[in-house]
Amino acid sequence: SLGVHRIWADCDAENKASIRVLKKVGMNQEGHHRQDCQIRGEWRDTLVYATLADEWSPSAKGVNVRRHR
């Protein structure tokens, strides 16, 4: 157990590889922030993904979790 209640991540809405990874580990899309980040002079959308402790099992998802100290 990571000892946390909620884990979240965000990514560029056009970054299909990141979206695939977040979905693969069992995270759900919770938000879509429109034009909130500027990259190389272009305003981009950000997607927010999250999961709650009782919804996520790293062993069931084949995820190797490492805790950094």
pLDDT-derived band at 36, boundaries 50, 70, 90: very high
pLDDT-derived band at 2, boundaries 50, 70, 90: low
Whole-model pTM: value is 0.77
Res. 58: pLDDT tops 70 = no
Res. 40: pLDDT tops 60 = yes
Secondary structure of the chain in HEC code, one letter for each residue: CCCCCEEEEEEECCCHHHHHHHHHCCCEEEEEEEEEEEECCEEEEEEEEEEEHHHCCHHHHCCCCCCCC
pLDDT at 56: 75
